[in-house]
Amino acid sequence: MTQQDKPQVPADKARQARKVLAASFIGTTFEWYDFFIYASAAALVFGPLFFPNVSDFAGQLAAFSTFAVGFIARPLGGIVIGHFGDRVGRKHMLVFCLLSMGLATVLIGLLPTYEQIGIWAPILLVLLRVLQGIGIGGEWGGAVLMAVEYAPPNRRGLYGGFVQIGTPAGLILANLAFLSVVAFVPEDQFLTWGWRVPFLLSAVLVIVGLVIRLQLEETPVFADATAKAPKKEKVPLFVVLRSHWKGVLAGGLTMSSTAMIGYVLIAYILSYGVNNLEMPRSTMITLVLLSSTVWLFTCLIFAHWSDRWGRRRVYTWGALGGLLWAFPFFLLMDTRNLALMTLAMFVLALPLAAMYSPVAAMLSELFPTRLRYTGNSLAYQVGTLFGGAFVPVIATTLYQVYGTSMAISAYIFVSVSIGLIASRFVPETSQISLESAGVAAPMAAR
């Protein structure tokens, strides 16, 4: 086919697609910023501020448990927001998600501590974490669909990758915010008011995100499907669980291993470095920041390769890398040598990027348009619940019980193995059309 024979994308549609990509990336970045500053605060300050009447170990577990609460709420957010996203549309639900996340984050920044209001402090912290979880639970599925449903057929992986890089970008913003506070605010003031600054900054990000998202139009795939079949499913969740449960299960387990590696790098390693290796807070935050940059810049490369070589193949590359690096990672971290620790975290970011990048398109292509918001949200959020929610708690407990980081490495190895096996039951979908997605997609290895 010659260049002139290739179908041309109308200029207005191309402009709208670029706007959607920018909005998906920026909005998702802001949402994950909100979610990740909680992870940093849980690792650094929530134990002594909200659970002061227990041992340091118990306080750290309690703080990480509130972190896990957000994951428990995420499937609920995916179900509820996905329900309306499949019935009403993608755009309106994304605006709701941004508002709920932003409100919860700002209120956490204003929350009194245990010393000021007693038991109500951790109770309110948990309730606001639930609201955060509901918001992020619906955010990912909607942002992915805005990108993937606007994408040309041969670029759905790349377009979905722009949503995926919002995760490391949000993490980078969160760690920059905390690093700035740690660097410029004395220790005693950091524990009183300094930690609140990153949470309160979320108010500015919400305003920017709203301005961008309110300018978007509904996806053409959803609009076409609505025009052809205006009658919607009354309860999309029931149909997904009845007819597409294998896709939810296989996709969710595939995502769970990705989440496990991600939250070792995002949340647990901060606590491990500061509390077990006795490294300075600023050093560990900087390491997370730099490794997140590697994750961000390689994610789009792997996303592009998933369009070229297939979603499952790119995921497999990443999973094999994760298996190979599970034990060397902590062996290098335990040296306390800054160069070797940097190498350990940089290399771990590569399999994470390879596993994470194709997931946006992979999960979206498992479900038909009328069920896609509910289906991809449920698979993703169930995966992150089982794979990511309890990583800091499990890893902290394993180290406490066995006294060696090799127990955590074994945990990583087993988790990634499960994801690798599950991926063999996810069909390769990179070459199908979205109109035929989920219509006859057998969950068998191909």
Q: Output the tens digit of pLDDT for each of the chain's 446 residues.
A: 444 444 445 566 667 777 888 888 888 888 788 878 887 788 778 888 888 877 777 777 787 787 778 778 888 888 899 888 888 888 888 888 888 888 999 999 999 988 899 989 889 988 998 898 888 888 888 889 888 988 888 899 999 999 999 999 988 988 888 888 888 888 788 888 888 999 998 888 888 888 888 877 777 788 787 787 767 778 889 999 999 999 999 999 999 999 999 989 877 898 899 989 999 988 998 898 899 999 999 999 999 999 999 999 999 999 999 999 999 999 999 999 999 999 999 999 999 999 999 999 999 999 998 899 999 999 998 898 888 878 888 999 999 999 999 999 999 999 999 999 999 999 998 888 877 666 554 444 44
Between the CA of residue 243 and those of 76, 247, 422, 429, what are the distances in Å? 20, 9, 19, 18
First-to-last CA distance in the chain? 30
Which amino acid appears at position 271 of this protein? S
Tell the residue number behind the tokens 């994308």, with chain if given: 9
> Do residues 33 and 173 touch, judged by C-beta distance below 8 A?
yes
Alpha-carbon 86 to chain mean position: 21
What is the Cα Rg of the chain in Å? 21
Instruction: Supply the pTM of this predicted model.
Output: 0.83
